[in-house]
Structure 1
Amino acid sequence: MKPYVIEGPAQICFSGGRTSAFMLHQILAANEGLPPDCHVTFENTGKERPQTLDFIEECALRWSVPVHWLEWDGFLEGEPQSRPCFREVNFHNAARHGEPFAAMINASTMLPNPVKRMCTINLKIRTGSAFMRSLGFREWDSVMGIRADEPLRVARMRDPARDNTSGVPLLPLATADVSKRDILDFWKRQPFDLALDPQGDLGNCDLCFLKARYKLVRALINEPERAVWWIEQETKRSGTFRKDPPHYRDLLRAADFYRRQLSLAFEEEDGDSSVTDCYCGD
C-alpha cells in the first residue's frame, strides 16, 4: 500500500494547517515531486491568520512546489446557486481583510451558519472546483488532509451517496493511519513550523463561528481588534452567524471583562502577595 503515491488529475487541498502541509510533504516525497496533472490549491477567504499565509509561502519556497492561491470572485450568473468565478493571486497580493468573504456574504444576502456553511462551500470547495474545471478537467481526485483519528469526517467523505462533483475524495492520511500526534511529532523535527497554537484553538480562520465560545473569547482577550470584521457583518445583516447567542459584539464584551479582571489580578499580586485569588470566571 502506497497511500501517498497519487496519479492525476488531482487537486491537492492545502488549507495552510499543519495536517495538510504534512500531507503535501509526504506526497512530494513519495512521488519525487509533484505528479503530472496534480495541482496544489489554497483558497483564501481573506480571514486566514497572517501566520497561515506565511506558512503556506514558506512551504512552497522550501519544498519548491507551486501553490495556486485562489479567491472567490463572484457568482458566474449572479446567483448564489450558480458556479463561482475565481481569481488567482499570490502571497503578496492575497486579500487579508476578509474581502472575498464579505463579498460572498453580500452576494448571498445572508450570513453563513453551522447548517448552511456557505463560506466553506463557496469560498473553498466550489472555488477550488472552478479552478480545476478551468484547466479542462471534468473529473478529478480531491486529495484532502483528513486523519485517521477523525472517523466521522472520514466516513462522511467516503459515503457512497456523497456528491463528488467537486472531486472524488482521496484521503491518504486516513489510509496511512496518521493521527494528530504523528503530525505534531513531524513538525517538531522540522526547521520551520506554523506559528500558531499547536492544539488548534485559534485555527486558520480567525474567530470561525464553528469554534466553541470559550475559544473565541480566549482569542479576543489577546486580539480584540479581530472582532471588528465579524461585528460589521452581523450588523449589516441584522443577524448572527449562529442561532444561539451571543453575538460577536457580546463575545468582545466578555473578552474585555476577563482582560480587565486578569489585569487587576496581576496588579494586586504584584502589590500585595496576601490578596486572595480572583475568581472572575465563577
Structure 2
Amino acid sequence: MNNKEPHIVKFSGGRSSAMMLMKLLEGNELKPKRGDVVIFNNTSAEHSATYEFTRKIKKITEKKYNIPFFWIEYQTYEDSSGIYQWSRKPTYRLTNDQPYSEQNKNGYRYKGEVFEEMISLSGFLPSMVSRICTISMKIFVTNAFLSDWFAQKQSIERLGHYGNTPKMSDDDLIKTHKKNGGGVPDKILLSKKAFVRSCAFVRKKQFWRDYTSANIVIDNDILKGSILGNKVQLYGDLAVDYVSVLGIRSDEQRRITKIENRIDEAQENQGKSLFNQPHGESIYAPLVDDNTTQEQVVEFWERQNFNLKLSNTGLFSNCLYCPLKSKAKLQQIATLQLENKIDKDTPENIDWWVNIEKKYSRDLEAEHRNIAKESTKFVGFFGGISKFVFEDIKNKVDRGEKIDPELLKLDSAIPCNCTD
C-alpha cells in the first residue's frame, strides 16, 4: 500500500467487503491523518439485514480504530442555469446510521426513495445497457464526496436556492427536455418528473463531525496541491492521486479486470465530469492479493460473534431484486420472501419493483415511437419487452409456478458483475 496517498475503503455492506475492512483495521493499515476513510453508498434498495450489518461495522471502525466511516446517498437540489430557468441537479448528502423518520431527518432512506429520485431525474430505468444506478448512486456520489473530503474542510456547503418553495415550473422542465433533444410527450414527461420535484430542493450544509464518532485528524500535504477553490480536483493536471480499496475476492477476477479497464480508458478519454472515472485513482484489492475465496470469507464470519443475516449463497444479496439478476433467480427470491416477515413498503417487497417498472418504463406506443418489433412495447429494466417483467414474476409466484432448475443452475455460474 502507498504510504502517502489517502485510501478510500468502498464498503458494499457484504461479507467480503467487511472481512477485508476488519483485516485492514486489525493490521493497522488505515491511517486517519493520511485521509483514509470508509464509505457506504446507500441506494435505499438494500436489504434490511445489510443496514443492520453495516451499522455494526461502522461502530467498530470508528469506536475501536478511530477511522471515519460515512454513510452517503444520492440526492438532488434545485438551481438555475443563470438565465432564470430552474432545473434539478444531482449531489449527495451525509446521513447517520439510523433510518429516516420525522424525528430523524438526517437518517438514511430505506424505502426506495433514493433509487426513485435518481430514476425520476433521468426519466428512464437502469438496465444492463444503461447502468445509471451504478453510475449515479455509486460512482458520481463517491466522486462528489471525495472532492469535498480531500479538501480537508470542516463541512460540505449548502446547495440550492433560498426560496421557501420549489421554483422549477412545468415550462422549465419541458424546455430543458426539448433543448436536450428529447421527444417525450409533455404529459408523460411531467408524470415521470413528479417524484423528483417532490423531493427536498436544498442540500443543507453538513459538518463531518456530526456524521462520524471518529476524531477527524486528516492532514495530508499531498492533497493540498490539488485543491482549487474549496474542492479537490479529481481530473486533469491537478488530479489527486488516491487508492480505492475494494472487497473483491480472488475468485472475482472479472470484476477487477473491468475496473482496471475503466481506469485505463479514463486516461485516454480524459472526461472531467464527476460521472467519469477519476484520473488519479488506483485500485487495491487485498482479498485478491491474499487469494481469498468465497469459502474462506464464509469461514471467517462463522468464527465471529456476529454475521450478516443473509444466506451464504448470494441469493439474498444486498440489492435484493437487482434487475441484473436473472428472471429465474428473481422468481426464486420472490417465492422465498413469502415465508419472511418483510416491510411491504420497501424494495424488499416485489410489489415495489412492480410499481416502479410500470411507472418509469418507456411506453413506445404512448410516446408515438415507431415500433420495429411487435414484441417490444415497453423499454425498461430488461430492455425491450412486451409485458412488465416484475409483474409477470409476481403473477408466477402467486400462481405457485415452479422454476426450471436448469435455469437456476445456469444462473449460479454467472458471477456478480456490479462494480463501483
Report the TM-score, using the length of structure 1 for normalisation: 0.83
Task: For residues 227-260 of structure 1, give each alpha carbon's deviation from its aligned partner in whole angstroms, at most 9, with x where no partner exists.
Answer: 12212221112342012656111111111122xx
- Give the 3-state SS of the residue equivalent to 2:251 in structure 1: coil
> Which residues of 2 match residues 197-212 of structure 1 at below 5 A?
197-212=311-326
Q: Quick check: 1:256 aligned with 2:256?
A: no
Deviation at 1:42, TM superposition (A): 0.4
The equivalent of 1:87 in structure 2 is 93
Q: Give the letter for the 2:308 counterpart.
A: L
- Give the 3-state SS of the residue equivalent to 2:119 in structure 1: helix
Distance 1:7 1:54 in 2: 33
Task: For residues 101-158 of structure 1, give each alpha carbon's deviation from its aligned partner in whole angstroms, at most 9, with x where no partner exists.
Answer: 1000010011000111110111011101111101224322211111111121122222
Q: Give the letter for the 2:329 counterpart.
A: K
Specify which of 146, 162, 170 is matched with residue 248 of structure 2: 146
Identity of aligned residues (%): 30
Q: Quick check: 1:20 aligned with 2:17?
A: yes
Q: Is the 8 A contact 1:76 1:84 kept in 2?
A: no
Q: Quick check: 1:241 aligned with 2:381?
A: yes
- Give the 3-state SS of the residue equivalent to 1:158 in structure 2: helix
Distance 1:16 1:9 in 2: 21
Q: Give the letter for the 2:50 counterpart.
A: T
Specify which of 55, 69, 72 is matched with residue 70 of structure 1: 72
1:176–1:7 Cα change, 3 Å = farther
Deviation at 1:222, TM superposition (A): 3.3
1:78–1:165 Cα change, 3 Å = farther
Runs of 5+ consecutive residues of structure 2 not aligned to the other structure: 82-87, 99-106, 152-231, 234-239, 267-276, 339-343, 363-379, 405-420
Q: Give the letter for the 1:105 counterpart.
A: I
1:187–1:76 Cα change, 3 Å = farther
Q: Is the 8 A contact 1:148 1:154 kept in 2?
A: no
**171-180 or 187-196, larger mean C-alpha shift:** 171-180
The equivalent of 1:118 in structure 2 is 132
Q: Is the 8 A contact 1:110 1:237 kept in 2?
A: yes
Distance 1:256 1:37 in 2: 51
Q: Which has the higher contact order (CA 8 A, sep 6+)?
A: 2
Distance 1:202 1:108 in 2: 28
Specify which of 305, 309, 314 is matched with residue 195 of structure 1: 309
Specify which of 53, 58, 61 is matched with residue 60 of structure 1: 58
- Give the 3-state SS of the residue equivalent to 1:31 in structure 2: coil
> Which residues of 2 match residues 217-236 of structure 1 at below 5 A?
217-223=331-337, 225=344, 226-236=349-359
Q: How many residues align?
A: 257
- Give the 3-state SS of the residue equivalent to 2:264 in structure 1: coil
- Give the 3-state SS of the residue equivalent to 2:114 in structure 1: helix
The equivalent of 1:51 in structure 2 is 49
Task: For residues 48-95 of structure 1, give each alpha carbon's deviation from its aligned partner in whole angstroms, at most 9, with x where no partner exists.
Answer: 01100000011122343532010101279799xx98410000121110
Q: Is the 8 A contact 2:91 2:144 kept in 1?
A: yes
Distance 2:332 2:391 in 1: 14
Q: Give the letter for the 2:111 counterpart.
A: H
- Provide the alpha-carbon RMSD of the alignment: 2.5
Q: Give the letter for the 1:228 counterpart.
A: D
Q: Which has the larger radius of gyration?
A: 2
Q: Is the 8 A contact 1:202 1:215 kept in 2?
A: no
Distance 1:128 1:143 in 2: 13
Q: Is the 8 A contact 1:73 1:87 kept in 2?
A: yes
- Give the 3-state SS of the residue equivalent to 1:46 in structure 2: coil
Deviation at 1:211, TM superposition (A): 0.9
Q: Is the 8 A contact 2:30 2:36 kept in 1?
A: no
Runs of 5+ consecutive residues of structure 1 not aligned to the other structure: 262-279
The equivalent of 1:41 in structure 2 is 39
Deviation at 1:26, TM superposition (A): 1.1
Report the TM-score, using the length of structure 2 for normalisation: 0.57
Q: Is the 8 A contact 2:70 2:94 kept in 1?
A: yes
Deviation at 1:38, TM superposition (A): 0.7
Deviation at 1:10, TM superposition (A): 2.1
Q: Quick check: 1:129 aligned with 2:271?
A: no
Distance 2:124 2:355 in 1: 13
